[in-house]
Chain A
Amino acid sequence: MAKLTNKQIAQALFEATEKLSGADLDGALQRFVELLAKKQKLKQVGNIIAEFEKIAKKKEGIVSIEIKSARKLNSNTTDSIKNAFGDKVEVTELVDESLLGGTSIRTEDKILDGSLKTQLNKLKLKLSN
Chain B
Amino acid sequence: MSNAIVEQLKKHIADFEKSVEVEEVGTVIEVGDGIARMNGLNKCQAQEMLEFSPSAKATGDKAGEVIMGVALNLEEETVGAMILGEYKGIKEGDTVKRTGRILSVPVGEQMVGRVVNALGQEIDGKGEIKTKQFYPVEKIAPGVMKRHPVHEPVQTGIKSVDAMIPIGRGQRELIIGDRQTGKTAIAIDAIINQKGQNMKCVYVAVGQKESKVARIVAKLEEAGAMEYTTIVVAGASNAASMSFIAPYAGVAIAEYFADKGEDVLVVYDDLTKQAWAYREISLLLRRPPGREAYPGDVFYLHSRLLERACKLSEEAGGGSITALPIIETQAGDLTAYIPTNVISITDGQIFLETDLFYKGIRPAIGIGLSVSRVGGAAQIKPMKKVAGKTKLDMAQFRELEAFAQFASDLDEDTRKQIERGYRITEIMKQPQYSPMAVENQVAVIYAVNNGIFDDVEVKDVSATETKLIEFMNKSKRTLLDKLAAGEWSDELEKELGDACEEFKKNN
Which A residues are within 8 Å of any B CB, using their own CB? 5, 7, 106, 108-114, 118-119, 122-123, 126-127
Contact = CB atoms under 8 A, between A and B. Distances in A.
A110 B22 contact: yes
B25 A110 contact: yes
B126 interface: no
B9 A127 contact: yes
Given A5-B77, A118-B21, A109 B42 contact: yes
**Minimum-distance CB pairs A-B, first 5:** A113-B21, A114-B20, A109-B40, A111-B23, A111-B25
A110 B24 contact: yes
A118 B51 CA distance: 15
Interface string B86-102: 00000000010100000
Contacts of B26: 109
Interface residues of B, number: 18
Interface stretch (B11-19, B438-446, B499-507): B11-19
Interface of B: 9, 12-13, 16, 18, 20-26, 40-42, 77, 95, 97
Which of A109, A122, A123, A127 has the most C-beta atoms of chain B within 10 angstroms of its own C-beta? A109
A108 B40 contact: yes
Contacts of B77: 5, 7
7 contacts: A106-B25, A109-B25, A110-B22, A111-B97, A122-B21, A123-B13, A127-B9
B25 A123 contact: no
A118 B95 CA distance: 16
A119 B20 CA distance: 8
A126 B20 contact: no
Contact of A112 (B12, B13, B16, B21): B21
A111 B20 CA distance: 10
Contacts of B18: 114, 119
Contacts of A7: 77
Nearest to B23: A111
Contacts of B23: 110-111, 113
Given A106-B25, A114-B20, A127-B12, 6 more contacts: A5-B77, A109-B42, A110-B23, A110-B24, A114-B21, A126-B16
A22 B23 CA distance: 43
A10 to B, nearest CB: 12
Contacts of B20: 112-114
Contacts of A114: 18, 20-21
A110 B9 CA distance: 33
Contacts of A119: 18
Nearest to A104: B21
Nearest to B97: A111
Which of B18, B21, B22, B77 has the most C-beta atoms of chain A within 10 angstroms of its own C-beta? B21
A126 B13 CA distance: 9
A108 B42 CA distance: 11
